[in-house]
Amino acid sequence: MNMTINASRAIEFLKEGKVVAVPAETVYGLAADAMNPTAISKVFEIKGRPADNPLICHFHSIDQIRKYVKDIPAATEMLMQHFSPGPISCMLDLKENSPLQFATCGSAQVIARIPSHEIFLQILRGFDLPVAAPSANTSGRVSPTSAAMVERDLGNKPVGIVDGGTSGIGLESTITDARNSNEIFILRPGAIGEKEIRRILPSIKFLYEKNAINSAIPGIKYRHYAPATPVAIAHHFNDLENEKDAALLLTLEQIATLSAEQKKKFTAQKTILISLGSIRDADDIARNFYMHLAALDQSGIQKAYFLKNDWGDSSVGKALQNRIEKIVSNV
Ligand code: TXA
Ligand code: MG
């Protein structure tokens, strides 16, 4: 069954209370009318998502967001003015009795985002109401970064799929809470990080997930971003000595350090080497990251390892480090 639809059909789907996978610059989202409880419950059912895990709401403009929130505090306004549309999401306080409370699972806060993918924006403008969209994967699995990945994961579910090519960033948006304007919680690191944010908010204090007092922190309560294949960290090539049919994920530079003897060993024990790309291009590694992980589940691999690596100081490098930690900790 081919469920590929175009943007105008996707807008009709949203109006009819149906669910549609849409491309974003970060990862594909599973979109539904954020104010339609039936549509929202379909998203939860299709993903197998715990009923108390709120959904990010997507908008086409800052002025559209303003209609639903109490206010946009100064620092958040700065973030949105500079980075939206783009891979950043901001926590805001909803107006009383908000119609978005189905999407936020009753929470008085919404995480709002304006994606930059042209097709997603076109859909948001055409629909002109908030769109709830978690990543378009079965709960607990990796986020899809292409229509083909969505199809493999959710192909037997009642969803339309809009094919917008490969997601350019490949990791989920940065989630921030800068409501009090003096400090900013990075609730989930992404392509926009401290480096970029400091340029526009030089004196704001940064706080990370582990310091956050808020209990509704993405990724803490629920297991995230993990393939079904068990994944661990290997500190050295020798850590795989007694493994059979394992995969080792590593950079091109790390592959280049393999000795001839080590290569022979790996061939003999059927260790598959999967190149994540060159460390000199963290953006490229991020773009293909979830595709490599999803491919593990397609292969007959028993166990996979990341070879320990320094992913660098860029915000994308730090986001990659964060996703790897989540995957291997399996919480
Ligand atoms: O890049 C992205 O942000 C993608 C694309 C589709 O926009 N979306 C995405 O959504 O990654 P999701 O649901 O996979 O991750 C959103 C995270 C979840 O961990 C959820 O718990 C948290 O944000 N979240 C959403 N709304 C929240 C709220 N009102 N309060 C606390 N946490 C919230
Ligand atoms: Mg997700």
Centre of ligand 2 from the C-alpha of residue 222, in Å: 10
Q: Encoding tokens for residue 128? A: 């002109």
Q: Say if CB 134 and CB 55 are below 8 A apart.
A: yes
Q: Which amino acid is at 232?
A: A
> What pairing do the DSSP bridges indicate for beta strands 303-307 and 88-93?
unpaired
Instruction: Count other C-beta atoms under 10 Å from residue 221's C-beta.
Output: 13
> Longest Cα pair distance anywhere in the chain, in angstroms?
67
Which residue, chain included where needed, has tokens 């960033």?
169
Measured in degrees and rounded to the nearest 5, phi and psi for residue 241 equal -50, -40
Instruction: Count other C-beta atoms under 10 Å from residue 41's C-beta.
Output: 13
What pLDDT, on the 0 to 100 scale, is given for residue 218? 52
Q: Per-residue confidence of the chain (331 residues) as pLDDT tens digits? A: 458 999 999 999 999 999 999 999 999 999 999 999 999 999 999 999 999 999 999 999 999 999 999 999 999 999 999 999 999 999 999 999 999 999 999 999 999 999 999 999 999 999 999 999 999 999 989 999 999 999 999 999 999 999 999 999 999 999 999 999 999 999 999 999 999 999 999 999 999 865 444 445 554 555 556 778 899 999 999 999 888 889 999 999 999 999 999 999 999 999 999 999 999 999 999 999 999 999 988 887 889 999 999 999 999 999 999 999 989 875 4
Q: Is the CB of 167 under 6 A from ligand 1?
A: no
Instruction: Count other C-beta atoms under 10 Å from residue 247's C-beta.
Output: 24
274, β-bridge pairs: 249
Q: Is the CB of 271 under 6 A from ligand 1?
A: no
DSSP H or E stretch at residue 19: none
Ligand 1 site-directed mutation target among 46, 111, 139, most atoms within 8 Å of CB: 111
Ligand 1 site-directed mutation target among 44, 55, 69, 113, most atoms within 8 Å of CB: 55
The HSE-up count of residue 80 (CA atoms within 13 Å, CB side) is 27
Beta strands in the chain (DSSP E): 20-22, 29-33, 57-58, 88-93, 109-113, 131-132, 160-161, 174-177, 183-188, 205-208, 231-234, 246-250, 272-275, 303-307
DSSP 245-295: SEEEEE-HHHHTT--HHHHHHHHHTTPEEEE---TT-HHHHHHHHHHHHHH
Using CA atoms, how far apart are residues 187 and 216, in angstroms rounded to an integer? 10
Using CA atoms, how far apart are residues 169 and 192, in angstroms rounded to an integer? 11
Using CA atoms, how far apart are residues 3 and 20, in angstroms rounded to an integer? 10
Q: Is the CB of 109 under 6 A from ligand 1?
A: yes
Centre of ligand 2 from the C-alpha of residue 262, in Å: 37
What pLDDT, on the 0 to 100 scale, is given for residue 299? 83
Using CA atoms, how far apart are residues 122 and 66, in angstroms rounded to an integer? 19
What pLDDT, on the 0 to 100 scale, is given for residue 302? 87
Point out the ligand nearest to the CA of residue 185.
Answer: 1
Whole-model pTM? 0.95
Centre of ligand 2 from the C-alpha of residue 29, in Å: 9
> Nearest C-alpha to atom 19 of ligand 1 is from which residue?
218
Point out the ligand nearest to the CA of residue 138.
Answer: 2
With CA atoms as reference, report the closest residue to 193 among 326, 29, 317. Answer: 317
Q: Is the CB of 138 under 6 A from ligand 1?
A: no
Residues with Cβ within 8 Å of residue 41, at least 6 apart in sequence: none
> Nearest C-alpha to atom 31 of ligand 1 is from which residue?
216
Centre of ligand 2 from the C-alpha of residue 324, in Å: 15
Q: Encoding tokens for residue 249? A: 């994920």
Using CA atoms, how far residue 56 sits from 92, 114, 230, 258, 301, in Å, is 11, 10, 28, 43, 33
Centre of ligand 2 from the C-alpha of residue 135, in Å: 4
